[in-house]
Amino acid sequence: MYNAHKGRKGQSSVLWKNLSGIPPQPNAKDCGYFVMRYMRDIIEDKDLTFVNKWERRSNLVYSQEDIDVMRCEGAKFVVKSYM
């Protein structure tokens, strides 16, 4: 992407796609947990069909329990890695 911004040739440009069915974040403080949870959905999709899944599940919302699981996993990682 840096090459594209500098006007260099040889690199294909990045095609960004906005996914319409991404679960909304209800507040301004959990964005990192929502990103991690969404990343998990993507990497666990072995068929790489997550784009179509999200377009179909446009009313999906991550529950507080889903976000709490991400918090606990993050805390466990920090404790295990750095304590």
Helix 31-43, helix 64-82: angle, nearest 10: 90
Q: Which helix (H) or strand (E) holds 81?
A: helix 64-82
Report residue 38 as tokens: 């969404």
For residue 69, give both structure tokens: 């699981």
**Tell me: the pLDDT tens digits for 10-65?**
667 777 766 666 777 888 888 889 889 888 888 888 777 776 766 666 667 888 99
pTM: 0.60
